[in-house]
């Protein structure tokens, strides 16, 4: 057995404003007449427009720097928040960024595509194809960059692997410190889950640091069984990689896949309603793809009476707000 590696010994480059605020949402709570709602503001991580990928990137970029990299390569959807935050991290550290975006290339430049360009990254368009994007998609690009005498480093799709999710294991420790300092109890955390890295990190952090609440992922893309299998495999790889003295089973992962609507990235009425409600009650912006859908799920669960009124629920805001502008017309027209 390998001895567990303390998180503080894993190489990390500070990029995010931490700790992110944990805020009360009194007007939203009143409006929904359900449990008390708090929000963990990972939309405020401080790099470009912020978001959950910054915590993961602190570990990837540290590894990249240690390897003497000069070019960061990553991949994602056209409006990928992960890709955009990677471009911002590369800019901050003086590295070149090559971004592989799933096509087709849209007309017009808005949302994260505009930001990618402003951040000085090189954008390349991939054929439209299946999701999630695997590392193989980047092979040719990496080879070409190496041939030109540069040293590329690939950040995986969504920043999700056994290194990136350390960011969310550490985030759980940060969160538990805030609960302690502010003398709060929170029975549940609700968050958007896509590649599952964020939820898996929080679940492993829960086990390592002893959080006794439930962590609920609202799937934005995958059916529940598939997402849970994916997260369990990732959890097991992570435990093995770092020698953590914990175990993970599928029971550790709570996922609702009732809110997929017309699929990943297709905004419907529930997301538009959730975005408006949180904006109008708390002055906080959600996004159409992830947090809008997760909040729509939370609103529905509260309306169905799933939670006791005396509970406290933390909505973990994972960012994504630049995509609001790419959905501007649809949002303006939503009922």
Residues labelled catalytic: 80
CB of residue 45 vs ligand PLP: minimum separation in angstroms? Answer: 11
Cβ proximity of 39 and 315 under 8 Å: yes
The answer to whether residue 111 forms part of the interface with ligand PLP (CB under 6 A) is no
The answer to whether residue 45 forms part of the interface with ligand PLP (CB under 6 A) is no
The answer to whether residue 50 forms part of the interface with ligand PLP (CB under 6 A) is no
Cβ proximity of 90 and 118 under 8 Å: no
Place of tokens 């505009």: 114
Nearer to ligand PLP, 40 or 145 (CB): 40
- Per the document, the length of the chain is 335
Q: Report residue 314 as tokens.
A: 């933390």
What is the C-alpha to C-alpha distance for residues 75 and 55, in angstroms, rounded to an integer? Answer: 17
CB of residue 129 vs ligand PLP: minimum separation in angstroms? Answer: 19
The answer to whether residue 287 forms part of the interface with ligand PLP (CB under 6 A) is yes
Q: Which of 111, 167, 319, 322 binds ligand PLP (CB under 6 A)?
A: 319
Closest CA relative to residue 246, chosen from 200, 281, 215? 200
Q: Which of 197, 288, 292, 322 binds ligand PLP (CB under 6 A)?
A: 197
Q: Which of 44, 79, 86, 318 binds ligand PLP (CB under 6 A)?
A: 318
CA distances from 285 to 67, 189, 296, 314 (A): 38, 19, 13, 16
The answer to whether residue 257 forms part of the interface with ligand PLP (CB under 6 A) is no
Binding piece for ligand PLP, criterion CB under 6 A, among 110-118, 144-152, 188-196, 206-214? 188-196
What is the C-alpha to C-alpha distance for residues 154 and 1, in angstroms, rounded to an integer? Answer: 30
Residues sharing a CB contact under 8 Å with residue 304, sequence separation 6 or more, in sequence order: none
What is the C-alpha to C-alpha distance for residues 290 and 75, in angstroms, rounded to an integer? Answer: 18
The answer to whether residue 112 forms part of the interface with ligand PLP (CB under 6 A) is no
The answer to whether residue 195 forms part of the interface with ligand PLP (CB under 6 A) is yes
- Binding site residues, ligand PLP, CB under 6 A: 51-52, 81-82, 158, 160, 192-199, 287, 290-291, 318-320
């Amino acid at each position: 057995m390998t001895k567990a590696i303390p998180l503080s010994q894993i190489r990390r480059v500070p990029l995010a404003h931490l700790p992110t605020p944990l805020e009360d949402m009194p007007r939203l709570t009143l409006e929904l007449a359900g449990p008390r709602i708090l929000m963990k503001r990972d939309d405020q991580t401080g790099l470009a427009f912020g978001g959950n990928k910054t915590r993961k990137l602190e570990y990837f970029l540290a590894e990249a720097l240690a390897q003497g990299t000069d070019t960061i390569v990553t991949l994602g959807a056209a409006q990928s928040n992960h890709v955009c935050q990677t471009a911002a991290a590369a800019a901050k550290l003086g590295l070149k960024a090559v971004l592989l975006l799933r096509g087709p290339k849209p007309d017009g430049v808005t949302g994260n595509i505009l930001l990618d360009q402003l951040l000085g990254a090189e954008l390349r368009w991939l054929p439209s194809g299946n999701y999630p994007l695997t590392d193989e998609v980047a092979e040719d690009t990496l080879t070409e960059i190496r041939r030109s005498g540069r040293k590329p480093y690939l950040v995986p799709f969504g920043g999700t692997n056994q290194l990136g999710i350390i960011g969310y294991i550490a985030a759980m420790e940060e969160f538990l410190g805030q609960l302690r300092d502010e003398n709060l109890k929170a029975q549940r955390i609700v968050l958007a889950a896509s590649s599952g890295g964020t939820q898996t990190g929080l679940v492993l952090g829960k086990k390592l640091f002893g959080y006794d609440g439930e962590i609920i992922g609202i799937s934005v893309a995958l059916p529940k069984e598939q997402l849970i299998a994916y997260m369990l495999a990732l959890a097991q790889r992570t435990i093995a990689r770092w020698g953590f003295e914990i175990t993970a089973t599928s029971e550790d992962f709570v996922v609702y896949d009732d809110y997929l609507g017309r699929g990943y990235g297709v905004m419907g009425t529930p997301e538009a309603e959730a975005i408006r409600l949180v904006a109008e009650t708390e002055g906080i912006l959600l996004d159409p793809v992830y947090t809008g859908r997760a909040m729509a799920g939370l609103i529905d669960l509260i309306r169905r009476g799933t939670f006791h009124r005396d509970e406290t629920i933390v909505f973990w805001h994972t960012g994504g707000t630049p995509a609001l502008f790419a959905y501007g017309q649809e949002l303006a027209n939503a009922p």
